[in-house]
Amino acid sequence: MNNGIISFSSDQENISSAELLPQDKDSDILSLRPKSFKEYVGQKDTVETLNIAIQAAKMRKEPLEHILLHGPPGLGKTTISHIIANEINKGLTITSGPALEKGGDLIGMLTSLGTGDIFFIDEIHRIPKLVEEFLYPAMEDYAVDFVFDKGINARSYRYKLKQFVLIGATTRVGLLSSPLRDRFGIFRTLDFYSVKDLITIVKRSALILKVEIDDKGANELAKRSRGTPRIANRLLKRVRDYSQVKFDGKITKIIVDAALALEGIDSVGLTVLDRNYLNTIIDFYKGGPVGIEAIAATLQEETDTLVDVVEPYLLKIGMIIRTSSGRKVPVKAYDHLKIEF
């Protein structure tokens, strides 16, 4: 702590951030992505719903309805879009809300889609309003409207699109406008994974990466993965490196403990940023309640980072409480941090 400001290592934050990082695009990480729902672990209700929708669409020989996936980062929204494209044997075009800055960007992508192709938009809640309005007729009528000239010479032309399938992914479903949200036929929320499912994912990934890991090592790694497969795979790579350099390459609980201690990740998966977040509320605001803007200002961190990345897991494990007057730290967090309540 320095001059009332809490600092932390960006490397330690990144290693267990659920956000997509450049290292997640490495070929060995991409190879861990399941190719079908038979290989997919967890989210049973969502998988069953999508399987039924895919089979019904195939029986009717119709494209799928538009799909909206909601949940914290790293739970498999992009992976599900890849699987759906594989299951129906159609093309997949991927973009994100912030990348669609102008209507022309969106129209160029829509006009290149074939019948039944998947159009996946990550962070769909961040599409600019003017661009979003082009999606309404595209989703409902499979058409886009062009306006030529201005004033009394203005003319409108409607361009028909192929029947594509839009899959939207969002971490902030409340920020979606009602007209956009209501145009999705299938809406599924992805939840954090259980330790049991994460153990299965860790063992599968270790097998693909040709890394030997015992049951206790897989269990410990799963417990510290914040209920998120993306983090589990990222931590597995870091523990693999540590084991190969410091030991004989086999991953055990002792090696997981040592490797993740080096990364600043504790027994329940909390990072330096998580602990600083909790300590800020305790030290500066007497345990709360306190507004998120005040916490962000003290940490010198973006409010969106705290809301999207830090808070979902802390809420899930009961380390913070949201109230109408702000955030509070319960006794459970004091006990974990070994601070007297």
Residues classed as catalytic: 77-78, 122, 171, 230
Which residues are CB-contacts of 219 (< 8 A; sequence separation ≥ 6)? 195, 199, 253
Residues 181, 173: contact at Cβ < 8 Å? yes
CA angle 289, 291, 292 (to 5 degrees): 125
Residues 159, 134: contact at Cβ < 8 Å? no
Give exposure, 308-332, as e/b (b: 16+ Cβ within 10 Å).
bbbbbbbeebebbbeeeebbbbeee
- Is the bond leading into 289 cis (omega within 30 degrees of zero)? yes
